[in-house]
Homo-oligomer: A and B are copies of this chain.
Amino acid sequence: MSPGKIIALSGGVGGAKLVLGLSHVLPDDRLMVVTNTGDDFDHFGLRICPDTDTVIYTLADLADKTKGWGRADESWTFMKTTRSLGGEDWFNLGDGDLALHVMRTQALARGQSLSDVTASVSKAWNIGVQIVPMCDQAVATTVKTETGSLAFQHYFVRDQCQPVVTGFDFEGIDQATANPIALDALGQGPDAIILTPSNPYVSIDPILKTPGMRPAIEASDAPVIAVSPIVGGAAIKGPAAKMMSELGVPATVLEVAKHYSGLVDAMVIDEIDGHLASAIQDLGMEVSVVPTVMTGLEDKIALAKDVLALVRRLKSAGPS
């Protein structure tokens, strides 16, 4: 039997790190990344897709490795000039980054789909791994807070995740359809579906809630593996742990497992959380306890290999 695809669901930075590791271990045609588009928004009249772009920049080796977002070798003259014009400056857009948003906005205006645009960009920047937005329709994640609802980027960037979260909405998701490219891959007998260590509430959930996506994952025989974004009670990056606390849920890998319960066959958790393995197993999940903190490329490749080892173990044990 020829090997199937590994389909990774990804948000921004955390997910992109594991995806980069996987891309070093798998041939291009065995890896597909389905990206969250709930963070996408219009700013300065341009369509900006932060999670998809982080995956693109990471796989094209164009990402700024220290900042964790945007492009390396970036300049900031546009923002400086925008500020001198009294324009909005809460969302930092690099000059090179802007080229991607301008190109995408024009292509969408010409009637191209977000999938088409993403494929064109990948081709231009020699990305062999297929990057697939969760859907081609606009979905807007809204963060419900004690002081009112906020568009995701207002919560995340402008207000720096300060407001206390009470829930989430994904506006437009009922009118969206899971990307047919992703559905087709899910129907072709993939080897595994990986929920990367991105935020469960605002990165992975929007993908899973896109109509058609979760049923297609459930219909597949492939094992579904989640890599915990929570390590030792904290999020490696972003507001996941803070959100969990504010939602009245302890910020632990056990709670991440509970959140994914019913869909996920196995959890990959960090060694520091090893003591919670048996509680997760009690939920009916397999557990792999490995180092999950990805600092350098070696860490990313090592975690990718650990995840693929788990895939082999689960597959040899038979269909889930």
- The smallest C-beta distance from A206 to any residue of chain B, in angstroms, reads 27
- The smallest C-beta distance from A210 to any residue of chain B, in angstroms, reads 27
- Among A27-35, A100-108, A158-166, A245-253, which stretch is in contact with chain B? A100-108
Closest to A44 in B: B102
A74 to B95, CA, bound (A): 11
A103 to B124, CA, bound (A): 28
Copies of this chain present: 2
Residues of B within 8 A of A94 (CB): 77
Asked whether A86 is an interface residue with its Cβ less than 8 Å from the other chain, the reply is yes
Residues of B within 8 A of A80 (CB): 96
Contact A77 B96 (CB under 8 A): yes
- The smallest C-beta distance from A97 to any residue of chain B, in angstroms, reads 8
Asked whether A278 is an interface residue with its Cβ less than 8 Å from the other chain, the reply is no
A81 touches which of B45, B77, B99, B120 (Cβ 8 Å):
B99
A124 touches which of B71, B78, B84, B98 (Cβ 8 Å):
B84
- The smallest C-beta distance from A56 to any residue of chain B, in angstroms, reads 11
- The answer to whether A85 and B44 touch (CB under 8 A), given A78-B95, A78-B96, A95-B77, is no
Residues of B within 8 A of A98 (CB): 78, 81, 95, 98
A109 touches which of B45, B85, B106 (Cβ 8 Å):
B45
- The smallest C-beta distance from A260 to any residue of chain B, in angstroms, reads 37
Contact B44 A84 (CB under 8 A): no
A77 to B76, CA, bound (A): 9
- The smallest C-beta distance from A59 to any residue of chain B, in angstroms, reads 15
A84 to B96, CA, bound (A): 10
A78 to B75, CA, bound (A): 9
Contact A125 B78 (CB under 8 A): no
Q: Known pairs A71-B81, A82-B103, A85-B125; list 17 more (Cβ under 8 Å).
A: A45-B45, A45-B102, A73-B77, A74-B77, A75-B77, A77-B77, A78-B95, A78-B99, A78-B102, A81-B95, A81-B97, A81-B99, A81-B100, A84-B99, A85-B99, A85-B103, A87-B99
In the complex, 19 of the A-B residue pairs with CB atoms within 8 angstroms, ordered by the A residue number, are A44-B102, A44-B106, A45-B105, A73-B77, A74-B77, A77-B94, A77-B95, A77-B96, A78-B102, A79-B99, A81-B95, A81-B96, A82-B99, A82-B102, A82-B103, A85-B120, A85-B125, A87-B103, A98-B98
